[in-house]
Copies of this chain bind each other. A is one copy, B any other.
């Protein structure tokens, strides 16, 4: 949870006046999100989310994110839709930060996803991949294979403080992935952070995707691999093959996986586990003593990585090609 930035009344009113959304009626900080400050805005014309982008988001990336949301919404993917100001601009400035106003999306994230949620997620992810096929902007994945070793080198000397032998585990995994990583799979725009808290449901119906601030150009199947990690482990870190099957089955109903994509899933899943292991390790070791935010435990992804290392073929994830 986080609201980092305090907004002065007059400045807020002046900002809202730049939009054709009627008079400001209410403004409340939301205790969600750790990267940006989010506010619920009620005006005479409806409810909106106002996001102030804090320092972890590169302002140069914001046009990509906002235009992507616009593009996806135009193709009936349910997501927050940026509201243009009176001059047609999507990105504004408030409290000396880049700021954007998006439509409010109903739905709640599911803390304990069931197979039916995984099936819905698979379908919607595939629809999103197809919908973004003709989106004409690109953004490199800063956290792809090429980025993992440099990230690890920033914290390699302290990795064993978190867990004895962790440094060795990561080095061997990097060696393996640098040799085995596919680079010829179908590419496109991926969300790259489709964790349960970024997927809204109304009951068992998926109502929308949010938080596209890691979206980038990459191999599409890598997005699936991230979800296998984020959705298909139980809280005791056992792997739930029923959920994995539902996820892949849902995806396949909308977009068929090629044989190459299917066969690459275990490698992609190892990579996805390592990517979240590394960012969590970095955050864990970087957080100052007494900080307000507790970083997420990197050991969760060490255990997930170890599971994927035992997977011989993609059939272990519950589907035949």
Contact = CB atoms under 8 A, between A and B. Distances in A.
Given A9-B111, A111-B9, A30 B27 contact: no
A9 B110 contact: yes
Interface string A282-295: 00000000101000
A274 B282 CA distance: 48
Contacts of A25: 106-107, 202
Nearest to A44: B106
B26 A108 contact: yes
Interface string A1-30: 111000011000000000000011111111
A28 B8 CA distance: 23
Contact of A3 (B1, B104, B105, B290): B1
Q: Chain A: interface residue count, which band?
A: 20 to 34
Contact of A107 (B26, B31, B106, B292): B26
A139 to B, nearest CB: 28
A2 B8 CA distance: 20
A254 interface: no
A28 B3 contact: no
A3 B24 CA distance: 25
Contact of A42 (B23, B26, B28, B106): B106
Contacts of A96: none
Nearest to A10: B112
Given A1-B3, A3-B1, A111-B8, A29 B30 contact: yes
A108 B23 CA distance: 12
Contact residues of A: prevailing secondary structure: loop
Nearest to A6: B111
Contacts of A202: 23, 25
Interface in A24-73: 24-32, 40, 42, 47
Residue from A40, A110, A112, A290 with most neighbouring chain B CB atoms (10 Å): A40
A292 B30 CA distance: 17
Contact of A28 (B40, B112, B292): B40
Nearest to A9: B111
A3 B2 CA distance: 10
B32 A28 contact: yes
B27 A29 contact: no
Contacts of A292: 292
25 contacts: A1-B3, A1-B29, A1-B31, A3-B31, A8-B111, A9-B108, A9-B110, A9-B112, A23-B202, A24-B108, A25-B106, A26-B106, A26-B107, A26-B108, A27-B108, A28-B30, A28-B31, A28-B40, A29-B30, A30-B30, A30-B31, A30-B40, A31-B31, A42-B47, A47-B47
Closest 4 CB pairs of A and B: A29-B31, A25-B106, A3-B31, A290-B290
